[in-house]
Amino acid sequence: MIKSPLKLAIIGGGSSYTPELVEGVLKRLERLPVKEIHFVDIESGQEKLNIIKALAQRMVDKVGANITLTASFDRRAAIKDADFVMTQFRVGGLQARASDERIPLKYNVIGQETTGPGGFAKALRTIPVILDICKDIEELAPNAWMLNFTNPAGLVTEAVLKYTKVKTIGLCNVPVSMKMMIAEMMDCSPNDLSLEFAGLNHLVWAHRAWLEGKDITAEVLEKVGDGANFSMTNIFEEPWDPTFLKALGAIPCPYHRYFYQTDAMLAEEKETALSGGTRAEQVMETEQELFMLYKDVNLDRKPEQLEKRGGAYYSDASLDLVDAIYNDLKTINVVNVRNNGTIATLPDDAVIECSAVVGSWGARPLSVGQLSPAVRGLIHQVKAYEQLTVEAAVHGDYEKGLMALVNNPLVPDIKRAKAILDDILRVNRDYLPQFNH
Amino acid sequence: MIKSPLKLAIIGGGSSYTPELVEGVLKRLERLPVKEIHFVDIESGQEKLNIIKALAQRMVDKVGANITLTASFDRRAAIKDADFVMTQFRVGGLQARASDERIPLKYNVIGQETTGPGGFAKALRTIPVILDICKDIEELAPNAWMLNFTNPAGLVTEAVLKYTKVKTIGLCNVPVSMKMMIAEMMDCSPNDLSLEFAGLNHLVWAHRAWLEGKDITAEVLEKVGDGANFSMTNIFEEPWDPTFLKALGAIPCPYHRYFYQTDAMLAEEKETALSGGTRAEQVMETEQELFMLYKDVNLDRKPEQLEKRGGAYYSDASLDLVDAIYNDLKTINVVNVRNNGTIATLPDDAVIECSAVVGSWGARPLSVGQLSPAVRGLIHQVKAYEQLTVEAAVHGDYEKGLMALVNNPLVPDIKRAKAILDDILRVNRDYLPQFNH
Amino acid sequence: MIKSPLKLAIIGGGSSYTPELVEGVLKRLERLPVKEIHFVDIESGQEKLNIIKALAQRMVDKVGANITLTASFDRRAAIKDADFVMTQFRVGGLQARASDERIPLKYNVIGQETTGPGGFAKALRTIPVILDICKDIEELAPNAWMLNFTNPAGLVTEAVLKYTKVKTIGLCNVPVSMKMMIAEMMDCSPNDLSLEFAGLNHLVWAHRAWLEGKDITAEVLEKVGDGANFSMTNIFEEPWDPTFLKALGAIPCPYHRYFYQTDAMLAEEKETALSGGTRAEQVMETEQELFMLYKDVNLDRKPEQLEKRGGAYYSDASLDLVDAIYNDLKTINVVNVRNNGTIATLPDDAVIECSAVVGSWGARPLSVGQLSPAVRGLIHQVKAYEQLTVEAAVHGDYEKGLMALVNNPLVPDIKRAKAILDDILRVNRDYLPQFNH
Amino acid sequence: MIKSPLKLAIIGGGSSYTPELVEGVLKRLERLPVKEIHFVDIESGQEKLNIIKALAQRMVDKVGANITLTASFDRRAAIKDADFVMTQFRVGGLQARASDERIPLKYNVIGQETTGPGGFAKALRTIPVILDICKDIEELAPNAWMLNFTNPAGLVTEAVLKYTKVKTIGLCNVPVSMKMMIAEMMDCSPNDLSLEFAGLNHLVWAHRAWLEGKDITAEVLEKVGDGANFSMTNIFEEPWDPTFLKALGAIPCPYHRYFYQTDAMLAEEKETALSGGTRAEQVMETEQELFMLYKDVNLDRKPEQLEKRGGAYYSDASLDLVDAIYNDLKTINVVNVRNNGTIATLPDDAVIECSAVVGSWGARPLSVGQLSPAVRGLIHQVKAYEQLTVEAAVHGDYEKGLMALVNNPLVPDIKRAKAILDDILRVNRDYLPQFNH
């Protein structure tokens, strides 16, 4: 059966990550006959969008691919008849992220892009926009798959699955990065590893690790406890306590440090904020440097400096998914999908992050069942926070927002929750029309 | 049908609470034909036991009741053929409780008798002893009901239900106190109130309150937010935020302050520890005063000063249960029992605290179903802590103990969890044989 | 607190059962200050309605009660401001019931008023009418309780709870009859018995029976197996196999005979249909006799002959519920309510029949948890049939109707299911507007 | 990584199916380095075992494979250090199967090898033997995978998973046969089909069918309703009603005919039993013919006549599983495994048949979640029957056996259940030591 060529729409096309995505497409031309990529962004991002478009064109030209590139502010045109809509936008830009990081720190609370109050603020800004995008998809490309990379990816995907009819899968580069690091510490090929992932986005555990049929979970935990590299560019690598890891019995993701090692992570954040600036502030610099590079008319490939930006394997996670769906590969990918009984006792309509078989039928999660008490409490606590956040974001509901923060394990107290919430609503006023009714 | 008269065994009979229990028996003589009460305690409590026995005898004599009182160290004799075994003992005495309160404070963590690391330490000391008592009951009084008042009552009851065959119900004076305070604020008789309690011990919510068929939950929450009295002698009455209460949509118990208002509660604890001494240290003084009073050969009733001690309605909660079982009353009492599907998504074998119909069949909980996201996260987090604590206490398992503390929402961090655990194990070494294998 | 007097609306007031209801009201005048009873029926029932009204008036006058009686075809007037709406109507009358019983027998399938295809047909006729009644209640008496006695009571109550906002409780005289028969066989007062009922309407088991704290389940099962009376007027008393009862471990209701003893029940039905006529046909005669009696201007009480009609304890089951709600009694009644997790693994929105605490808050079921495999299969099978029947009845959906019958354990085969369905739709055409769209 | 070569133990090696298995091994030599196959059987099967061994040797020699073949009665030697133990034995032989088929027919009940009372009888005979085999595996080959083909495969696998520690997967050729037939009717390659299987063994549905990303479930159901071939050699092909299939919304397996089209299947069975003999009696003839062929010293391949025997794709289903595990393929196979939350509301420890990802980690099922009411009732009913059958078989418990049959949807009545049970126990006395204690 001859399959039709593909149109991709990239929402947030002016992102510094885009060259990686383009590179991913070009690497897979034999498997994925992409005929058109439409980069779309908002007007204030025009300059970046132009730079990206030009660089992408040079990359395409270099390999002689037959792909039409378009860059515009016309989201509806981009979405119209797209086969895949990839979302990677950032409402409020890095400026808003910086305030997400700074506000909680004022109250001695973790200030982080996707977890804690920072992720909450980002969700409030992002969810109304993505629901709007989904209306366009429902109308203009009802058969398209939306691959959502926009953070907080689990929360955003849950809002989409609850409030729209768009076929969507959320994804994240954390699980694939964990796999790569485990392969490195086991000195094996990632292909020989089997990892049973289940949890929530940025709160995912590899519950068991297998190397060619042998359960190596304990061995991996020992190596991690022993100091093997197990973090990501954007997360401070506070060492893990070996006894704790053994007691946990599951491999935590780098973001778990915020929950399990709060004191050290907070101390580091506060120091960094004082010295080098928060992560957002550092990224702003990196971004500027990247776009300087991107402008170079001689550059016709993804520059190595992009790796510093923190999105390792972003392109692979994303395009492997396109590949699996388009070519019906039935590979195991780690994705954000509707729970539907996969993790027992979480609500059916909750979005979880887990290993799933991806093919032309979408993503079918591997059954997980009952989680151990070692992880069951935290996942329910964070999911309650997420459910409440989705409601707060969709309905602009102050009380739900307060309950969301009170339920976030990184926020220790009602008083601080309220103060942070009020700061967030004030500072982000322009991005939160749903709260100004 | 003529029912046989009753034998009660009071484990921890030397407690200062015992006169209240005796008073409760004497008030109900028409309904409860008690023929014998056996107070049992350990040898180091001999003096107190003698004082209590003598006071109880004066109280019995005063009303001319035909009850044989016995006081001894012979637990097996006490249990033999008892109809009800009431447990109210304290392993390590108030001295141990003082260290439970002091240790966490060193690490800026809530130091409290039953919640947080303090309750954890108490569970480690108590569970091996109660399992030992249960062996005696299984052998010597297999049909007896054990009414467990020993804190942390939920945890202790869970251990008993998981590891023994003893028919047991855990109970607590918090729900009945909440009912009394709500009646006071609504200016109505407690009998006209219907409260739907469900949660865990010292983490119980009244999810709905009814006054003669009218749902008054919102009204009660307003009054509590407005400053109506809603605490207990032993818990600092930090005011509740009205917006939070409205968002919560359920009436929290006084102990919820430790979880929702951690900052203020911790500040108060630290200040009190510096000035008047921790709660345990204050209680030691009260105890001494009480026993001075009890010694008075002219005293033949429960002295009023006992109320200061904090156990309001203790006797009523306890003897109402005896009454309901013995006389098959089918009244609604709030008890600690096996979940068995009552609260959806908690494990079947978890112990919960909830409204139940109590009669000769024991306690049958009222179905609860799904909890709202506003409370679902916290209850799963605390139950995970409790499950892990039971395993740690029964098996003397360091790793389970560490995971228990890491899962306790009052302990923010692995490092502090470990430091606190190590302190607890060291200080309580004499009471933790299960960890010294 | 002084409570306002009560208005009752009786939908299907012309029923021969009504005198029992009136008697029940008059017996409880001290507890239930009824000021008005409005009997409503359809025009074709005018004569019966008049007879009932006149008899009721004589009964009221006899005791000198201050109750206004009204009889009319004006359903909206009856419902307006009612405190309790009691439904006991029969769409299509006994004529339709006779065809419900006859059609399945043609295909060698149990023909019965409420179980099997007969109950299915009755549900198709009844549900559209009751949803219509509920629209009136929502508008004219939004605070009223609807007590639904209309069969199939579980199915009808499920439709109401799924498709309306009316506060409703379904009820049935089977559980109370079982209690009375068990009391008789144990030679005890029914008040000393505690029975744990859980199941579906006409498929309810008493899972455990207690007599003053002693579990007598096995003893009751032995007596039933030994031939103790354990049926109801309208159900053929095929003896129970003692080994089966022991294996079942729970006390079945009389209607269980249709499921467990299908051969014998079918044989008896076929014989009766040939000789004396089906149950409906017998009842038509009884009815005629009853109304002859009712007409007697000297009759001023419920005649004893009504008992033959089969509705033993109908009045008590019904008015005890009114009493419990109005006076906030918190008694345990057996009712049909939303499952909401009470029986684990049945859907939350399924209606079940179970022991519940009834008071001004409505009915709160006692938690049941996991059912044993001995009964779990049948209850899921019948509940699936019921869910599909509700959908078929509400939407007039032929396929759902077919699947409903295929799922009914009394219908052995698709072919017979389809033949029966087609007969039912044809014969009942006038009463099934939802299928004629 | 170089993998060690494989030893296979074939329990019931004298089966006429064995040549297919050997052929499967020889086809996969490049992927599966089998070094040894040990055929084991009981003494009464000596002649057949010898014939099979000789034929297998000729087949091996023909392709020049380096495989040691052993045939013996020494089960322990066969199991010792095996990598895979494949079970395909038949306690009591075809003679016992014939009585399984005949007994129910006496009572007008479906008489079938694996469903209904026939499967029940087979389970009673088989489960004690397989538990015995498992004891040997636990001792002599604790790392071996047992692939269980012994019918009733779901029930037998459930007994093994509940009562032993053996790593086991149950399998069946029904799902793969369904896939092949659907591919045929869709005129596509089976590889382009994706089927979502979930249910129980011989009660499995393909809930959705996809062809290259397009949901073709409705189309397949139409074709099946239209008369497309959709049965298996051993099941009478009673046509399916198209309206029923549409209402069902899922693709039934051939064995579903016994449950949904009981009348026609029973009629056919009774006729066949009278004329040609039951299926077992027919198979006896086929077997004899096959072994005549097998004896031929010139035969060095699987003869085509084996296909008539009914085990199409047996070898592929089985060796694809060995391949997937040994080579860590992560392919989707349909297997019998512990439910563990895969199908919501079935017990965690129930064995289900479903699509799973098979690799060196064993089989990880694809999450299913809530089943529709159209199928939910039947699966719960049959699983209750299965749970009770396992208990009856393991403990020799008459009451559980009776409840099992009463719960089997093919047995309409207690009386018939009891008569059938008594016949089964009497006729199979020699094979049911557990009932003779």
Give yes or no for a contact between B151 and B130, defined as CB atoms under 8 angstroms apart.
no
Question: What residue spans of D331-413 are helical by DSSP H?
Answer: 373-395, 398-407
Length of chain C: 437
**Stretch C96-112: mean pLDDT:** 97
Going C368 to C372 to C373 to C375, the CA torsion angle's sign is: negative
Give the per-residue pLDDT at A276.
82
Contact between chains at A380 and B382 (C-beta distance less than 8 A): no
Contact between chains at D260 and C406 (C-beta distance less than 8 A): yes
Contact between chains at B367 and C370 (C-beta distance less than 8 A): no
Query: CA distances (Å), A65 to each of A20, A22, A51, A84, A250, in order?
Result: 16, 11, 19, 19, 44
Contact between chains at A367 and D332 (C-beta distance less than 8 A): no
Length of chain A: 437
Among A50-59, A309-318, C68-77, C358-367, the minimum mean pLDDT is found in A309-318
Residues of B in contact with A400 (CB under 8 A): 247
**Stretch C198-215: mean pLDDT:** 96
Give the per-residue pLDDT at C48.
96
Considering only the beta carbons, identify the residue of A241, A383, A406 that sits closest to B260: A406
**CA D364 – CA D356 distance, rounded (Å):** 5
Instruction: List the domain boundaries for chain B.
Output: 6-171
Tokens for A372, please give them. 């151990």
Terminal C-alpha separation, chain A: 52
Residues of A in contact with B409 (CB under 8 A): 381, 409
pTM of the complete model: 0.96
Just list the catalytic residues of A.
255
> Which segments of chain A have a pLDDT < 50?
1
Closest Cα in chain B, distance from residue C353 (Å)? 13
Residues of B in contact with C6 (CB under 8 A): none
Give yes or no for a contact between C7 and C82, defined as CB atoms under 8 angstroms apart.
yes
Catalytic residue among B17, B107, B163, B255: B255
DSSP at D305: G
Give the per-residue pLDDT at C47.
95
pLDDT exceeds 60 at position D1: no
Query: Chains meeting D at 3+ CB pairs closer than 8 A?
Result: A, C
Give the per-residue pLDDT at B310.
67
pLDDT exceeds 90 at position C307: no
In tens, the pLDDT along C383-420 reads 999 999 999 999 999 999 999 999 999 999 999 999 99
Query: Chains meeting C at 3+ CB pairs closer than 8 A?
Result: B, D
Output the DSSP codes for B158-222.
HHHHHH---EEEE--SHHHHHHHHHHHHHTS-GGGEEEEEEEETTEEEEEEEEETTEE-HHHHHH
Give D58-63 contacts, CB < 8 A, sequence gap 24+: D58/D297, D58/D299, D58/D300, D59/D19, D59/D22, D59/D23, D59/D26, D59/D300, D59/D301, D59/D302, D60/D22, D60/D26, D61/D300, D62/D300, D62/D301, D63/D26, D63/D29
**Mean pLDDT, rounded, of chain D:** 95
**CA B316 – CA D109 distance, rounded (Å):** 62
Other CB atoms within a 10 A radius of the CB of residue B142 amount to 10
Tokens for D344, please give them. 């919501």
Q: Which residue, among B367, B368, B370, B372, would best test binding to C if mutated, counting the most C CBs under 10 Å from its CB?
A: B367
pLDDT exceeds 80 at position D3: no
| Annotation marks residue D258 as catalytic | no
CA–centroid distance for C57 within its chain? 26
**CA C153 – CA C51 distance, rounded (Å):** 26
Give the per-residue pLDDT at A406.
98
Which option is the CATH number for C6-170: 1.10.357.10, 3.40.50.970, 3.40.50.1000, 3.40.50.720? 3.40.50.720
Query: CA distances (Å), D58 to each of B430, C199, D5, D26, D307, in order?
Result: 74, 62, 21, 12, 20
Residue C188 annotated in ligand binding: no
Closest Cα in chain D, distance from residue C56 (Å)? 45
Give yes or no for a contact between A170 and A153, defined as CB atoms under 8 angstroms apart.
yes
Give the per-residue pLDDT at C1.
47
Query: CA distances (Å), A164 to each of C290, C387, D424, in order?
Result: 60, 27, 57
Residues of D in contact with A341 (CB under 8 A): 341-342, 344, 367-370
- Local structure of A159: helix, strand or coil: helix
- Chain D residues within 8 A (CB-CB) of chain C? 241, 243-244, 246-248, 260-264, 345, 373-374, 376-378, 380-385, 387-388, 398-400, 402-403, 406-407, 409, 412-416, 418
Give the per-residue pLDDT at B315.
87
Catalytic residue among D255, D258, D314, D431: D255
Give the per-residue pLDDT at C303.
86
With a CB cutoff of 8 Å and minimum separation 6, the contacts of D135 are D164
Give the per-residue pLDDT at D104.
98
Query: CA distances (Å), D19 to each of C52, D14, D286, D291, in order?
Result: 82, 10, 15, 11
Other CB atoms within a 10 A radius of the CB of residue C70 amount to 16
Interchain touch C–D (≥3 Cβ pairs closer than 8 Å): yes
DSSP at D413: B
Give the per-residue pLDDT at A366.
98
Closest Cα in chain A, distance from residue D357 (Å)? 8
Considering only the beta carbons, identify the residue of B213, B328, B367 that sits closest to C212: B328
- More confident of the two residues A228 and D324: D324
Tokens for B138, please give them. 């299984």
Tokens for C382, please give them. 């019948």
Question: What residue spans of C297-437 are helical by DSSP H?
Answer: 314-326, 373-395, 398-407, 414-427
Which CATH superfamily is B6-171 part of? NAD(P)-binding Rossmann-like Domain (3.40.50.720)
Considering only the beta carbons, identify the residue of B241, B377, B388 that sits closest to A373: B388
Predicted confidence band of residue C276 (pLDDT cuts 50, 70, 90): confident
Length of chain B: 437
In tens, the pLDDT along A290-302 reads 999 999 999 998 8
Helix-then-strand count for chain C, H and E: 16, 12
Cis bond upstream, residue B190 (ω within 30): no
CA–centroid distance for A115 within its chain? 11
pLDDT in tens, chain B (437 residues): 457 899 999 999 999 999 999 999 999 999 999 999 999 999 999 999 999 999 999 999 999 999 999 999 999 999 999 999 999 999 999 999 999 999 999 999 999 999 999 999 999 999 999 999 999 999 999 999 999 999 999 999 999 999 999 999 999 999 999 999 999 999 999 999 999 999 999 999 999 999 988 999 999 999 999 988 888 777 888 899 999 999 999 999 999 999 999 999 999 999 999 998 888 988 899 899 999 999 999 999 888 887 767 667 888 889 999 999 999 999 999 999 999 999 999 999 999 999 999 999 999 999 999 999 999 999 999 999 999 999 999 999 999 999 999 999 999 999 999 999 999 999 999 999 999 86
Q: Which residue, among D192, D196, D367, would best test binding to A if mutated, counting the most A CBs under 10 Å from its CB?
A: D367
* Architecture of the structural domain at A6-102+109-169: 3-Layer(aba) Sandwich (3.40)
Give the per-residue pLDDT at A28.
96
Backbone angles phi, psi at C39, to 5 degrees: -90, 130
With a CB cutoff of 8 Å and minimum separation 6, the contacts of C378 are C203, C259, C409, D381, D384, D407
